[in-house]
Amino acid sequence: MKRTMVRPAAFALAAVIVAAVPPSGGSADIRRFTALDVKTDFRTDAEAAFGRPVSISHDTDAIYVVDAEAHEVRAFSKAGVFLGTLGRKGQGPGEFDTPAGLDARDGRLFVADRFNSRVQILDKAGKYLGGFKVPFDPDQIRALSEGKIAVSHLPLGFRGSEPMVHCYSEAGKLLWEAMPSCSSGERTYDAFRNLHVMLGGGRGDLYVVRKSDDNAIRRFDGTGSALAPIVVPPEYAFKSITLPLPGPNRVLKAFCWDAAIDGDRIGLLAPDYTEDGDIGPGRRVYLVGRGGSLDGFIEFPVVVRKIDLDGDAIYAIDDNYNLRVFRTGPR
């Protein structure tokens, strides 16, 4: 009789203890926000329809979007007014061939001019201020402090492992290189594992986020020295997919579709499964502190492909390749 009473009591006590202990990492503290759509005239302006928007950046009073298909940069006011187009297809100063990355900083635009294999620096009106050639097809670009420019590329995989991040002076002098590429011998698999996003920390430092297989955000100071990485807590879940490649199972753990930084918070656009089981962009942006804390997530009303954080405003390219502006609100 006594034994039968003790067992249920023990189970009840255990249940209470389990319920009282939060999941590891304190996921109960993760705050939820909702992205509220700000009405602009972006979608009604024919000039604002993008072919292949590949990069988005902002400065104090404008938003810039790179359209790789149109070989140009389009500028918008933060109130939603189309301001104009910068550049056109070509090889001359201020012209582009499939531009990729863009960084707006201190009144200047830094453009990774992919198939002209060069970096261009323009003023906000599109006037050519300077630039230099690079020995690869540049993908992403970040202007750091003291005239340093970080440029990255996606290796084709023919030369084994090679650095993906290269830092130059504005005169085009190579200062340092970092981030060796993955090189397993399966080039398509490696191409995904080498996808990354570069973020300027605002203090001359550089952050590099791999899009898969790595939940550590790599950090470098202005001299290229590796700093302690930011390890994103396990509550931020990977999404796995097996690629249709020959050989052993080529499983990718998708980490982020895009990323952005603003002040002390890093936004990671979480990938999600599509209806047919593929991995695609999602509706959530997780907010990670520079110390590695998972501070919350912002839920969007639509799928977003590219993001840029600006205080409580979020500029995003949605699933239909339109530019949208959101404000962060409580859930």
Partner 1 sequence: MKKSVALALAGLVVFTVVCFFPGAAEARNSADCYGNHSVCRANAFNLDMGWFRTSLYLTVCDVGLGRCLLLA
Q: What are 266's two structure tokens?
A: 């890093």
State the nearest-atom distance from the C-beta of 319 to partner 1, in Å: 10
Spell 47-67 as b/e; 16+ CB within 10 A means b: ebbbeebbbbbbbeebbbbbb
Of 227 and 251, which CB lies nearer to partner 1 in the complex structure? 251
Looking up tokens 């230099």 gives 132
Of 115 and 176, which CB lies nearer to partner 1 in the complex structure? 115
Of 98 and 215, which CB lies nearer to partner 1 in the complex structure? 98
SS3 content of the chain, % helix, strand, coil (to 5): 10, 50, 40
Of 146 and 276, which CB lies nearer to partner 1 in the complex structure? 276
Cα–Cα dist 113/60, whole Å = 23
Of 201 and 215, which CB lies nearer to partner 1 in the complex structure? 215
State the nearest-atom distance from the C-beta of 137 to partner 1, in Å: 6
Of 162 and 221, which CB lies nearer to partner 1 in the complex structure? 162
135 φ, ψ (degrees, to nearest 5)? -85, 35
Q: 78 and 58 in contact (C-beta within 8 Å)? A: yes
Q: Residue 183: name the closest of 164, 206, 202 by CA.
A: 164
Cα–Cα dist 86/74, whole Å = 6
Cα–Cα dist 119/100, whole Å = 10
Of 104 and 195, which CB lies nearer to partner 1 in the complex structure? 195
Looking up tokens 């302690």 gives 228
Q: What are 171's two structure tokens?
A: 């005169």
Of 176 and 238, which CB lies nearer to partner 1 in the complex structure? 238
State whether the Cα torsion 310-60-291-191 is positive or negative: positive
Write out the residues near partner 1 by the rule CB under 8 A: 52, 54, 68-69, 98, 100, 114-115, 137, 154, 156, 187-188, 191-192, 195, 241, 243-245, 252, 254, 274, 276-281, 305
Cα–Cα dist 109/43, whole Å = 24
Q: 33 and 297 in contact (C-beta within 8 Å)? A: yes
State the nearest-atom distance from the C-beta of 135 to partner 1, in Å: 13
Of 106 and 275, which CB lies nearer to partner 1 in the complex structure? 275
State the nearest-atom distance from the C-beta of 247 to partner 1, in Å: 13
State the nearest-atom distance from the C-beta of 191 to partner 1, in Å: 6
State the nearest-atom distance from the C-beta of 156 to partner 1, in Å: 6
Q: Following DSSP, what letter does each residue of 185-206 receive, concatenated?
A: S-HHHHHHHT-EEEEE-SSS-E
State the nearest-atom distance from the C-beta of 102 to partner 1, in Å: 14
State the nearest-atom distance from the C-beta of 66 to partner 1, in Å: 10
285 φ, ψ (degrees, to nearest 5)? -115, 115
State the nearest-atom distance from the C-beta of 9 to partner 1, in Å: 52
Q: What are 118's two structure tokens?
A: 């060069």
